[in-house]
Structure 1
Amino acid sequence: MASEDAKLNADTIRTVDPTDIELAPASNPSKTDDPFLVAFAEPFDAENPQDWRSGRKWAVTDVLSATGFNRIMVSTIMAPALSTIAKEFDMSSTESAMALSIYLLATAFGPLAIGPLSEVYGRKPILHASNIWFLIWNIVCGFATSKGLLIASRFLAGFGASAIYALANGVLGDVWRPEQRGRSLGVYLLIPLLGAAVGPIIGGFMAERTTWRWMFWSTSIFQAVMIAVSFTSFHETYAPLILRRRAERLRRETGDSRYYTTDERLNANRSPTRVLGRALTRPLRLLAFHPIVQISSLISAFYYGILYIVLSTFSDLWTKQYNESIEISGLHYIAVALGEIAGSQICAKLMDGLYHRLKARANGEHAPELRTPSIFPGALLGPLGLFLYGWAAHYHLHWIIVDIGVFITMLGMQITSMPMTAYIMEAYPEHTGSAGAAQQFMRSLTAFLFPLFAPTMYNVLGYGWGNTTIGLIGLFVGLPAPLIIWYYGATLRAKAGRIY
């Protein structure tokens, strides 16, 4: 099944960043060739994040995971209380929907700056700064006295929250090797995936029993705790920065200015302003000129938009069609959480198992395209779940059938998205943060836009035909795109390098 393109070594045909070609050295020297080159020792270097002991790797991963849980939970926690908030601030239905989704719009633009900044200044300072920024504006949301202030502070909080999307790919790519990709992604996603579904459950009980403001106050308390934990447990993972600090230490201690890193050599003739400017434009250039980023972003964005259609309309289904209370309607989001968790754990084993098998068939050569076969089961399951969910809701069948349909939908979408994330991480090992930011830009746009037309779609088509339409589009998008990557991914990566 594997084509010659898919068997090509990713180290041989790697994507060359267009900003670096003009100054890239003719060949990459090794430490053996040049004693003044500062690089990680082989086969083991204690400062190399990929050689860290497992406990330290998991500590960094868990900090990101817990932080992601809170930030993602805040994106959906308002959903059950929208009618209450709209009444208090005299908001139209569009304005109340905007108060919920403006947070997601911010997560589209935030990574475009945060991802590249983490490749210039390192992951650690960006994480700490974004944590504090998010805390401040989330507190402001809880004390908002007007709809304008609520919407504005939600946007600014979302900008800070978006750092988790920009940093996660980069940090996981920094510390985990390809052989551990499935397991590391599965463990990392375990907690954040709960956030999107747990948010409406918690929000439903708070909306019914206390003021909606506690949604923001309680998550701010949790965020303050996570800030304290991250300051003590999170270590810098960005290899070029770690090596740069090592080179600076050697130059200082020996008085010899000839010590350098590969990164310093590439940027030797560039001013700090130019380096920063090129870094900040990299995500959009990747999205504009690299077909594999475009294809993977299209797949991820479509399924992410469906997720937020479900999250934003699920409560209304139960309160308006099944006449359940807000509290009880929130409990149905458990099906969403269980589907995503099951999908992440199944896909983790599927990804690693298929990767080892396909790598063996490719004579032990690693290529990012080996991730794509894992996508196909999810590309089929997601639309099937939508069909079941939609027609069960259309005919008012027992609630368990609807929840099973949602469970299958979330299961399929998770199995689809994880290999795409792994593919981007391995196709762009030197600029994982920027590539992830480009992908997240599209994902967040659909998460913002899809819920805006979802109520109208369901009013016009009903749940049956509405979900069938989305499911058919999902089959049209979700099946051909991975085939393109499987057969032509290596060629497209090489061509991008030659052109740019």
Structure 2
Amino acid sequence: MADIEQAPQQTETAVEKERDGNEAFLVTFSPDDPENPQNWSKKTKWGVTAALTATGFNRIMLSTIMASAINTIAIDLNMTNLDRLFITNVWVLIWNLICGFANSKGLLLASRLLAGFGASAVYALGYGVLGDVWPPEQRGRSLGIYLLVPLLGAAFGPILGGLQAILAVASIPFVIETYAPLLLHRKAESLRKNTADPRYYAEIETREEGRSAAWKLQNSLSRPLRLLMFHPIVQIQAILGAINYGLLYFALSSFSSLFVSAYGEPVSISGFHYIALCLGEVAGAQICGPSMDYTYRKLTARAGGNSSPELRIPLMVPGAILTPIGLLLYGWAAQYNMFWLVVDLGAAVLSLGMQVFGTTLQAYVMDSYPEHVSSASAATQFLRSLTAFAFPLFAPRMYETLGYGWGNSMLAFLSIGIGLPSTGLLWRCGAKLRAKKQSSY
């Protein structure tokens, strides 16, 4: 009886030994394999990109979706002044629906908190999906669009709140699995079943063999933190991205009030100046996407066909230069009450530089961590969120003390003093830093 009970274990061990080092049974994608997400049709790839972009639009729109009704909500509630993308879509829609029927400020705040919990998924998963379906030499355009369109959600949120459900439903056909290791695992399972040969295996199975579900979950959830703590590439990207994002929110928090206090414009008119920031973002996306793909292909060809993430870096330099130029133009034009169009031009240059720098930096990290793009993105999102929260808190006090000229000059010095040296460091030492990184698995 004991021998019978041990037979399955012995058989499994024999199969495992036969698999070891036998690449004949390792399941991979062939160069033209239609199951490989990077070999999908352009229509499907752009459909997936559009679904991600629409989801990102919804997420950003959440932050301003209640703006047009905030006064009514405050009166009614006695408030003071003080896995899967589709599953998260449904989660967000449900909790936002509850917001609409909230009869207390506690329920409203709790509902918004839980809606935000679901909304965060796209920021962690979006870059990973784009990395799955677009090869490095075609990644620029999709990144530019993905990073641009959600930013428009902040402006359209108060107007198009009802559009959220329509976008979520329209995205359903393109919410499909893109993670290559999981697709290969499913392919290996299918081969084992159809051939009755248990020796077929995917690489992810050898790494996770014998691991419990709890270990897999713990390992996945802790990976962003481990990347942030031990991987220099992610640390540098997190710091640069956080500063870039913080400076943007710094400008956003003070831009409208500038035209009210210094130019005497009514609040209803001052908000239109945000169009300058939007135009800068649009121009940055349109310029950066095609330029990134073109530059990457040219530099790869010049290197004899040897591509590397560091080939993204040259395009970061214009962004690192344009950002402080925009800050200085915007700040000193405001300081001397120059014609409002000059201030708007400075703001547009600022947002253009940030868009170019941020998009290129994100592409660099995606290329550096192709298997764990989502975890790397989640690791950097933490610092970005902190600066987006903290920078606007001291913006009014800084401008009161230093004025717009010297205040923005200080920000410009901070931007160029960190941006350019870091870009040079990645160019010269990026390959060495990546070679020394600990396993991201």
- TM-score of the two chains, using structure 2 as the length reference: 0.89
Distance in 1 (CA, whole Å) between partners of 2:24 and 2:171 is: 36
Residue 141 to residue 409, structure 1, CA distance change in 2 (3 Å):
farther
Partner of 1:40: 29
**1:84, distance to aligned residue in structure 2 (A):** 7.8
Instruction: Give yes or no for the alignment of 1:422 onto 2:380.
Output: no
Are residue 328 (structure 1) and residue 269 (structure 2) matched? yes
Aligned-residue offset at 1:148: 4.1
How big is the shift at 1:83? 7.6
Residue 52 (structure 1) shift: 0.3
**Alpha-carbon distance change, 128 to 146 in structure 1, aligned in 2, over 3 angstroms:** same
Q: Within 5 Å, give how 1:163-202 maps onto structure 2.
A: 163-196=121-154, 198-199=155-156
How far does the alpha carbon of each residue in 1:380-419 deviate from its partner, in whole angstroms, 9 at most, with x for none?
1111111111222233322211111110000011111011
Identity across matched positions, percent: 55
Note the residue ranges of structure 2 that are not aligned, 5 or more in a row. Answer: 1-16
Match of 1:62 in 2: 50
- 1:86 & 1:335 partners in 2: Cα distance? 31
Structure 1 segment 396-411 matched on structure 2, within 5 A: 396-411=337-352
Cα distance in 2 for partners of 1:375, 1:458 equals 29
Q: How does 1:150-169 map to 2 (within 5 A)?
A: 150-169=108-127
CA RMSD, 1 decimal: 2.6
Give the Cα–Cα distance (whole angstroms) in 2 for the partners of residues 355 and 480 of structure 1: 21
Aligned twin of 1:74: 62
Q: Which has the higher contact order (CA 8 A, sep 6+)?
A: 1
With 186-195 and 478-487 compared, the bigger mean Cα shift is at 186-195
Deviates more, 1:346-355 or 1:398-407: 346-355
Deviations 1:256-302 (CA, angstroms, capped at 9, x unpaired): 33221111111112111101111110100100011111111111110
The equivalent residue for 2:180 is 239
Distance in 2 (alpha carbons) for counterparts of 1:328 and 1:148 = 34
Q: Which residue, 222, 234, 259 being the options, matches 2:200? A: 259
Distance 1:91 1:280, change over 3 A: same
Q: What letter is aligned with 2:355? A: Q
Deviations 1:89-115 (A, max 9, x none): 4424xx3xxxxxxxxxxxxxxxxxxxx
Q: Structure 2 CA distance, aligned partners of 1:410 and 1:360?
A: 31
1:79, distance to aligned residue in structure 2 (A): 6.7
Residues 137 and 154 in structure 1, CA contact (< 8 A), matched pair in contact too:
yes
Kindly state the Cα deviation for residue 477 of structure 1 after the two structures are TM-superposed.
Answer: 1.1
Structure with higher Rg: it is: 2
Say yes or no: does 1:272 pair with 2:230.
Answer: no
Aligned pair partner of 1:139 in 97, 111, 129: 97
| Aligned amino acid, residue 403 of structure 1 | D
Question: Could you tell me the TM-score, scaled by structure 1's length?
Answer: 0.79
Q: 1:499 to 1:473 in 2, by over 3 A?
A: same
* Structure 2 equivalent of residue 349 of structure 1: 290
Identify the match of residue 433 of structure 1 among 329, 354, 374: 374
Task: Give the structure 1 partner of residue 259 of structure 2.
Answer: 318
Structure 1: which amino acid aligns with 2:34? A
Alignment counterpart, residue 287 of structure 1, candidates 216, 219, 228: 228
Structure 2 CA distance, aligned partners of 1:321 and 1:137? 40
Q: 1:475 aligned to 2:433?
A: no
Unaligned segments of structure 1, at least 5 residues: 1-24, 96-124, 204-214
Number of matched residues? 423
